């Protein structure tokens, strides 16, 4: 039942050790409706979004023997899991402001399969600007322009780029970044995955907290 799966995800991410949960469970954020498209390339060209979504979660098959449990989030008007959500679109950038006084303690961004993300935290820790950018190379539809992505996310204090998750030993390298409001601070956890949705193969290759450089 979706309620059971939603509870497992919420409790796992909000536990004392979300990295342990993410080392054993994949949370796939399925593509949602496209947002209006704009051009990007510089941070000021990105589009603000304040968005909450209700999700249902379903457990999907994983054909990797002994592999992680896999949940797929799907938007549902009456879903049991409410979270901040940041969309994506080709050659478009989005950002959202996550406030520590939010009554919604979870954040999901769309799956990364060529995009870059990053965040900038207020000096007093009261809010975070989280950005999700997609920039493709000229005359291509999917090949990421990492140099342009790096420039467009130069203002961030911590970021994740395609080169950090695409090169995996098998399958298609993708990543998710999930945010959790813990002890009055937003924290972000990266999960990189070797994935083949057609063959239903999901293997976790790394999990870690996305932190500001000290």
Residue in 100, 95, 98, 129 with CA at minimum distance from that of residue 115: 95
Q: How far does CA 46 lie from the centroid of its chain?
A: 17
What are φ and ψ of residue 116, in 5° steps? -125, 150
Which residues touch 155 (CB under 8 Å, ≥6 apart)?
43, 120
pLDDT of residue 50: 56
Classify each residue of 30-56 as buried b or exposed e, where b means 16 or more C-beta atoms within 10 Å of its C-beta.
eebeebeeeebbebeebbebeeebebb
User: What are the residues whose beta carbons fall under 8 Å from the beta carbon of 127, sequence distance 6 or more?
Assistant: 97, 98, 99, 100, 121
Query: What's the chain's length in residues?
Result: 214
pLDDT tens, per residue, the chain with 214 residues = 578 999 999 999 999 999 999 999 999 987 665 444 444 333 344 555 657 888 989 999 999 999 999 999 988 878 889 999 998 888 888 899 999 999 999 999 999 999 999 999 999 999 999 999 999 888 877 788 999 999 999 999 999 999 999 876 555 789 999 999 999 999 999 999 998 877 888 999 999 999 988 6
Residue 70 CA, distance from chain mean position:
15
Locate all alpha helices (DSSP H) within 92-191, ordered by sequence: 146-152
Can you give 112-129 as a three-state secondary structure string?
ECCCEEEEEECCCCCEEE
Distance between CA 49 and CA 92 in Å, rounded?
12
Residue 158 exposed, middle or buried by CB count within 10 Å (0-12, 13-18, 19+)? middle
Give the C-alpha separation, 60 to 202, whole Å.
10
């Amino acid at each position: 039942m979706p309620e059971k799966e939603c509870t497992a995800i919420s409790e796992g991410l909000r536990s004392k050790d979300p990295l342990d949960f993410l080392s054993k469970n994949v949370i796939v954020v399925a593509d949602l409706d496209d947002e209006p498209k704009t051009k990007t390339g510089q941070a000021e060209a990105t589009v603000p979004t304040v968005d909450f979504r209700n999700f249902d979660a379903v457990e999907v098959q994983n054909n990797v023997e002994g592999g992680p449990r896999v949940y797929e989030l799907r938007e549902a008007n009456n879903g049991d899991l409410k979270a901040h959500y940041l969309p994506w679109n080709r050659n478009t950038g989005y950002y959202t402001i996550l406030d520590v006084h939010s009554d919604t303690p979870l954040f999901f961004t769309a799956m990364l399969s060529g995009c870059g993300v990053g965040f900038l935290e207020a000096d007093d820790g009261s809010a975070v600007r989280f950005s999700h950018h997609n920039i493709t190379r000229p005359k291509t539809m999917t090949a990421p322009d990492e140099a342009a992505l790096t420039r467009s996310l130069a203002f961030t204090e911590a970021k994740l780029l395609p080169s950090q998750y695409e090169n995996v030993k098998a399958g298609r390298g993708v990543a998710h970044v999930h945010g959790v409001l813990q002890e009055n601070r937003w924290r972000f956890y990266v999960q990189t995955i070797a994935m083949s949705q057609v063959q239903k193969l999901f293997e976790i290759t790394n999990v870690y907290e996305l932190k500001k450089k000290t």
